[in-house]
Structure formats: structure tokens, C-alpha cells
Amino acid sequence: MEAIAADFGIKQALEQLGVGILNEGSSTGSNAFSTGEILESYSPVDGHLIGKVKTTTKTDYEKVMTAATEAFKLWRVMPAPQRGDIVRQFGDRLRKNKEALGKLVSYEMGKSYQEGLGEVQEMIDICDFAVGLSRQLHGLTMHSERPGHRMYEQYHPLGVVGVISAFNFPVAVWSWNTALAWVCGDVCIWKPSEKTPLCGIACQNIIAEVLAENNLPEGISCLINGDYRVGEFMTRDTRIPLISATGSTRMGKIVAQEVAGRLGKTLLELGGNNAIIVTPDADIKMTVIGAVFGAVGTAGQRCTSTRRLIIHEAVYEKVKQALVDAYKQLRIGNPLDETNHVGPLIDVDAVDMYKKALSKVKDEGGQVIVNGGVLVGEGYESGCYVKPTIVEAQPDFEIVQHETFAPILYLLKYSGSVESAIAIQNNVVQGLSSAIMTNNLREAERFLSVEGSDCGIANVNIGTSGAEIGGAFGGEKETGGGRESGSDAWKIYMRRQTNTINYTTELPLAQGIKFDL
């Protein structure tokens, strides 16, 4: 770590963010507390220990819940624009810490420094969005069927919102939820991934400073740390009306069943098996750029990563050769070095899944056209660096139906009309992101129609990866059906109430019912 720290300013970043070698794992702000076991965070960049976190015990959790529920009583009655101003201050503080937090994201998670900066920028962007939203939380007015009556609906905050996030976006997805939940009047408890706990500590330190400067309760933003057992504290807790969970489909099904069993609400962002359709009318240069970034960005560990490239037979060989040439230019190594394109996978378990997927697709008859493998030697000591690979496959291969969180791209050939390609794309259980590359207006509109892509995100002439915060983010089928970030995603963090006011001296009943006394 010494060389990394000296070359890329990691130590300075950790100091700036208030992250030490031993950090508390349960926090309602600056007065942290925890009595749990030690959770160690190792960097996939070089395999070195970055820091340690105390995990949250049940006793710790109860203290956090007490702080959160008490804070909610004050926070919910603060005018929404004032809550928005707190979020504005948080966004400004993120701007000051963007480089430091971006480096920590890169070093603890393994994505490129540019992607780390981009993730913090997403946090800043959602804060800006939430500030504007704080003056636009609206209901509707309706005409009553009864004379002298007025009807309208309004939204109230839910209470304590639980957020469970994944390692691949260790800070951005939390902010998507909390920035909106905060302006809606909710307080939040966050369990970050046990693979990236220090990013959670850093974010909590930043918001804690803002809350302290405004004399607000620390319980508005709470942090707990640990594995799935700590997450179960929230999923089983009837005091938490909404659980927002990001991760695998397997995890999401467990969370959904647990929360549904107590009639709670869930917002699920789960797996993706995303495809780009390449038609004969595609711009090949644009296609290659979108496909390569989608496949290798974050080392293939985005929920929106491109897994399948569905290419028309008329341009198949041309696209394949262009991809092979592009992959030859990829540089794999330390993600803090901005000359590299691809960093490591999160850990050796992810490497093992990568190797098993490659073995499986070969067993099913796939033809490797860009060889993969694990990199060894100087600079790859962590054992987490792998080569992005391309495999020619068939749509019905069993492994192609699954999401492998690694840089493996499957090439699938189609013939005939764009409807054939859409059928291939939709024939998986996941439904997150999709794209089509075409300059044919009819093909594009067909792809976006009710008979087209069945995904929550459908793009034309851009890749599957990379979403702006202004639009609602999420997917269908086994992706979970949740929507986060922009548009009207704020509504899930609130409860809807319909109000009817009678301003007459009579009491007529609805539907013309007569009830005279």
C-alpha cells in the first residue's frame, strides 16, 4: 500500500475523509458506537489491508433505530424546502471531497479512477435533483361527485427507510435513495456492502458534519455494517416500512419474501443480462465504443454491463473483427492509473465465478475469439485481475441465460428482421437495460414499442451502461421492478393520502346512498 499511497494520494484521501485503520461500524453521525466483530477491507487493486470496521450487533442496531425514529419526529415536520437545503449542503460538501471519495471508491472497489469520480458526480447530481424536487412534492385535486365537497391527495413521509447497497456502486446508489428520501421527510439507515465498508464510513462522515453544523439530529442518517445477518435486522423490522435493496436476484428474492411477510414495501434493483442489438444499419464505430465500454467498464461488474451482443449476420464478421481489434488496445492494471482501461474484479471469489463461466460456455460449445484468463506477476499481486474475453455463443446456452459479474461478452448471431433480435434479447429472465444500434427509424421505433424491448431501460444508439439521474432507473422481471433516482421515483418514499373536505351544512353520501335519521 505504501507505493500506491505515495503515487496516487490514497493516504491523504483517507485522512481527508476521516477514515482510519479502525472504524466504528454502527453510527448515527459523529458519536459512533459498535461492539461487534472486526470486518477487514482489502483492496482488490493490490491486496493490501485498507482499514477495519466493527460490525453491528443487535444491541447496536437497537440504538441506531432509537436514534432514527426520534430524529424522524423532528425531520418530518421541517418544511420540505428546508430539508432540500440540507441536501444542497451535502452536495456542496461532496464537491469539495469529490477527488478524495473518488479515489477511495476506486481503491476499495477496483473501478477506474474516472469511474470513481463519475460515481461521486452522480451523488452530486442527485442532490441537485432532490433540491429542486423539495419544492415540487405534489398531489392532485379531483372533482367530487357531491356538492360542496373538495377532494385532493397528498403525500406524507413513510418514516425510517432501510437501504442495502451493493459493492459495485458503493456510494452512488445509496445517494439515489437517501437524497430523495430525505427531502420527502424520511430518515435512512444504510447497510453498505461488507466488501466496501469504508466508502460507507466516508459518506457517513460527510453527512454527519452537515447535520452537526445545522444542529440536526444525527439519526437522520444512520449506518450499520456487516454481512447479510445485519441486513436481516432491517428486513425483519416492522418499524421500517420500506427496504431498498440492490444486489443479486437471489438476494432480492430473499429480501422480498421477508419484507412481504410483514406487509412492508420493497424497492428492488437486481440482476441484469443486458443486450445490444446490432442491425445492418448500425454505425459500426459507435457500436464498438458502446459495446466495449459496456462489456469491460467496471470490469463487467455493473448491473447494466453489456453481456450479450446480438448481431445481424450481414454485419456479423465486420463487427466481430472490430471488437477483436478494440480489445487488443485495452490496458489492464491499477485503476488509479488513468492510462489503464480495466481494473480488478472485487475479490478472488469473483475471479472464481469468471473462470467457471468461461469453462461452462466452452463446455456448451462456445468459441472463444478473445482469450481470457487470470493475470499474474508484477502489478497483479491481488489475484483479482482478469482479461476481458469475447465468446461466440448461442442464445439458448444455459450460461448465457445467467448474469456473470465479470468482463465476458457473448456474441450471438441473428438473421431476418429486427423482431428476431428482439425475441432473442427478451428471452432471458432479467429485464434491466437494453440497446439497439441502428440508423433505421422503423427499427428504432419498433424496439421502443410495446412489442419491443421488455426492459426498464431501452436505448437507441448508445450502450446499455451509463444512466442519467433525471430518468427513473430500474428494470422488470427478475430485475425486481423497482425505480430509483429521477422522474417520479420519489413517490415510493412516501405514503399517499386521499382527503375529502365537506364545506357545507349537509352530509350527502357518495354513490347517492340515502341514510336519514
pLDDT (0 to 100) of residue 2: 55
pLDDT (0 to 100) of residue 33: 62
Residues 137 and 223 in one domain: yes
Residues 233 and 144 in one domain: yes
pLDDT (0 to 100) of residue 81: 98
Q: How confident is the model over 152-171, as a mean pLDDT?
A: 98
Express each pLDDT in 281-297 by its tens digit: 999 999 999 999 999 99
Express each pLDDT in 113-139 by its tens digit: 999 999 999 999 999 999 999 999 999
CA neighbours closer than 13 Å in the CB half-sphere of residue 242: 22
Weakest-pLDDT range from 24-38, 43-57, 162-176, 313-327: 24-38
Count of domains forming the chain: 2
Dihedral (Cα; 287, 289, 292, 298), 10-degree rounding: -130
**Domain, as residue range, for 59:** 2-270+480-496
Residue 382 included in any domain = yes
Residue 508 included in any domain = no
Angle between helices 58-75 and 228-235 (to 10 degrees): 40
pLDDT (0 to 100) of residue 5: 53
Express each pLDDT in 422-478 by its tens digit: 999 999 999 999 999 999 999 999 999 999 999 999 999 999 998 899 999 999 999
Residues 327 and 203 in one domain: no
Residues 248 and 318 in one domain: no
Closest by CA position to 378, among listed 47, 115, 107: 47
Express each pLDDT in 393-415 by its tens digit: 999 999 999 999 999 999 999 99
pLDDT (0 to 100) of residue 30: 39
| Active-site amino acid positions | 269, 303
What is the residue-averaged pLDDT of the chain? 96
Q: How confident is the model over 481-491, as a mean pLDDT?
A: 97
Q: How confident is the model over 267-282, as a mean pLDDT?
A: 98
For the chain, percent of residues with pLDDT exceeding 90: 94
Residues 140 and 260 in one domain: yes
Residues 179 and 283 in one domain: no
Q: What is the CATH number of the domain that holds 389?
A: 3.40.309.10
Could you tell me how far CA 6 lies from the centroid of its own chain?
Answer: 31
pLDDT (0 to 100) of residue 31: 42
CA neighbours closer than 13 Å in the CB half-sphere of residue 79: 5
Residue 443 included in any domain = yes
Express each pLDDT in 16-70 by its tens digit: 999 988 787 777 643 456 779 999 999 999 999 999 999 999 999 999 999 999 9
Residues 160 and 74 in one domain: yes
Residue 7 included in any domain = yes
Q: What is the CATH number of the domain that holds 95?
A: 3.40.605.10
Give the model's confidence band at 109: pLDDT under 50 very low, under 70 low, under 90 confident, else very high. Answer: very high
Express each pLDDT in 340-385 by its tens digit: 999 999 999 999 999 999 999 999 999 999 999 999 999 999 999 9
- The DSSP line for 129-160 is HHHHHTT-----EEE-SSTTEEEEEEEEE-SE
3-class secondary structure, 187 = strand
